[in-house]
Amino acid sequence: MRIARTAPDYDRGAALVNRIPHSVVEGHRIAKSPVFKGGLRATDTLSFASFSDKIKNSCAVRRGLPKHIQESPLRFETGDYVVYPNHGVGIIEDVKQTQIAGLDQDFYHLRLFANETTVMVPVGNSKSVGLRKIFGKTQIRRLFKHLRDPDFETHSNWKGRYKENAEKMRSGHLFEMADVLKNLQHLSQRKALSYREKRMYDKAKHLIISEIAMVQGRSEEIVRPDVETALDDCIEARKASGGRAKAS
């Protein structure tokens, strides 16, 4: 069984978006199954009975009723390209009803292109975890305009800045991630980024570039200079305006 890497520390994930091996669904024992926060700890080794007890008490079950109690409309269909916050673009390969902890729930089976990992996202929780359709070409044009816009907020306080940027990353929205990218690009002109902020900067840039490449049908290597040029234009425009922008 392939073990996927756990999410980075700034990605707290959401309710129940677990990388659940098929052996768990079939009722076999699991060993150190990596899951997102809100389900099991990444190092848990549990029997299926213990797994059931934990999943019954998870945020997902508390926030959303199972299918046999409350129907959940399908927001996506098989073959749809979607974005999973902090993990990038993937494709819905199937929508299946699976019984977990005695409850029948519908799950999107989502294959992420970044690492070929398959995650199971409860249909009823897809909106709360930020799962969305991939951007269209018109939205991408607006994104480049937004990337060049020098009017963005900055935080002098590291804690406040990191918290706000982390929340924007978890939203999974390209415009929010563009704000993170511009903020950290601006900061890097004045001082070296901390290790955690450098990771966040690289992640934001990768997620933006990969989605643009997918929408435009171009390689990431070709898209990267376009994004970096837009960022440079943004910083230069900000300098030309005397650095006047929203600050907090």
Q: Is residue 247 part of a domain?
A: no
- Cα 112 to its chain centre, rounded Å, is 11
Q: Are residues 89 and 41 in the same domain?
A: yes
pLDDT value of position 244: 53
Specify whether the CB–CB gap between 209 and 227 falls below 8 A: yes
pLDDT value of position 73: 61
Q: Is residue 6 part of a domain?
A: no
Could you tell me the residue range of the domain that residue 118 belongs to?
22-133
Q: What is the DSSP string of 91-159?
A: EEEEEEEEEETTEEEEEEEEEETTTTEEEEEEGGGTTTTT-EEPP-HHHHHHHHHHHH-----B-SSHH
pLDDT value of position 125: 86
Please write the tens of the pLDDT for every residue from 141-159. Answer: 999 999 999 988 887 788 8
CATH code of the domain containing 53: 2.40.10.170
Specify whether the CB–CB gap between 100 and 18 falls below 8 A: no
Please write the tens of the pLDDT for every residue from 100-129. Answer: 888 888 999 999 998 889 999 999 888 888
Angle at 86 between CA 24 and CA 38, to 5 degrees: 40
Low-confidence ranges of the chain (pLDDT < 70): 1-74, 243-248
pTM: 0.68
